Amino acid sequence: MSSKRVIAFHSYKGGTGKTTCVVNLAAVYASMGMKICLIDFDIYAPSLTSYFGVTPEFYIHDLLSGEAGINDVLVDYSRKIKVDGELHIAFSSPSKEDIHSIEIKYDNKFQLKALKQFLSIKRQLLEKEGFDYIFVDTSPGIRYWSINALASADILLLLLKINGMDISGTKKMITEIYDSLTRFGLEARLVLNKVPGASPIDKYNDEYFQEMKSDIENTLNLPVFLSIPCYCDVQFNRSEFLSALSMPDHPFSQKIREIPKLLSLIT
């Protein structure tokens, strides 16, 4: 097993399909018999309570404030999706008051304390609770809490769409955030999501894609880890729920199932 066991998903802006990818990947790992923790650290625009249809007693906000421990926050979702392993989820509160409090109640001193607490929780989950992997969904953009989450990660999967805004914004984040984190051991990779080519109107051109991939890697100075075509029936399906499990033969599911093998090569 790879020693790189905390994997964060981040993006320059919303709409990249980040959350869809991370929840499906976490479920795939659980289906492989592993004990998985999925943490919703998109605390400015949380969506996992809606996605999983859960109203937990405690949220990430309660953990950060010291009102709950990590075992209080985790919800065991394993039986509901009937996997061989385990999937435990820590949810962020969708309450407007809780989201607003993140900015106004917690000063820099508290945030530094919270980062140390998060690193301690990481060790507890992996060493004491026996989790195989921790997957972290983060808030898009340059946010303090996102940086905290990334600082605790071993691998960063940075999702972007192949348009000028995403590429230029991602380049800015790499310069301002990732360069310093990678010096402390963070492994960063690009995931090109919603790539044109799954639509019959815009047929996939491998030669063009390889040129584009090379150009993006040179521009951002990071390797492309994976490319996922834009499967509209998944990405824009209002009822999409763990497609990688419910539709295992779908090309999107097959792409997600490539990730464990690719991650195992990052040591």
Dihedral of CA atoms 64, 69, 72, 77 in degrees, nearest 10, equals 70
Dihedral of CA atoms 153, 32, 89, 66 in degrees, nearest 10, equals -50
| Total domain count, the chain | 1
User: Taking each helix axis from N to C terminus, what angle separates 144-151 and 108-123, rounded to the nearest 10 degrees?
Assistant: 30
In this prediction, residues 77-90 reach a mean pLDDT of 96
Answer with the residue of higher pLDDT: 112 or 17: 17
Owning domain of residue 36: 6-264
Distance CA 207, CA 185 (A): 34
pTM for this structure?
0.92
Please report, for the domain that includes residue 92, its CATH number. 3.40.50.300
The β-bridge partners of 221 are: none
For residue 32, give the DSSP letter: T
- Pairing mode, if any, of strands 155-160 and 187-195? parallel
- Inter-residue contact 216 to 162 (CB < 8 Å): yes
HSE value, Cβ hemisphere, 13 Å, CA-based, for 235: 18
- Report the share of the chain in percent with pLDDT over 70: 92
| DSSP element (H, E) containing 169 | helix 164-173
One-letter amino acid for residue 196 of the chain = P
**129-154 tens-digit pLDDT:** 999 999 999 999 887 777 878 888 99
pLDDT-based confidence at residue 179 (cuts at 50, 70, 90) = confident
Tell whether 1 is covered by a domain: no
Would you say residue 62 has pLDDT above 80? yes
Q: For residue 150, what pLDDT is reported?
A: 86
The β-bridge partners of 35 are: 86
Q: For residue 226, what pLDDT is reported?
A: 94
Tell whether 36 is covered by a domain: yes
Answer with the residue of higher pLDDT: 83 or 117: 83
**193-246 tens-digit pLDDT:** 998 765 555 556 778 788 889 999 999 999 999 999 888 888 778 789 999 999
Tell whether 232 is covered by a domain: yes
**Hey, how many other C-beta atoms are within 10 angstroms of the C-beta on 149?**
25
In this prediction, residues 62-73 reach a mean pLDDT of 90
E-only strand ranges, 161-207: 187-195
Tokens of 16: 């990249």
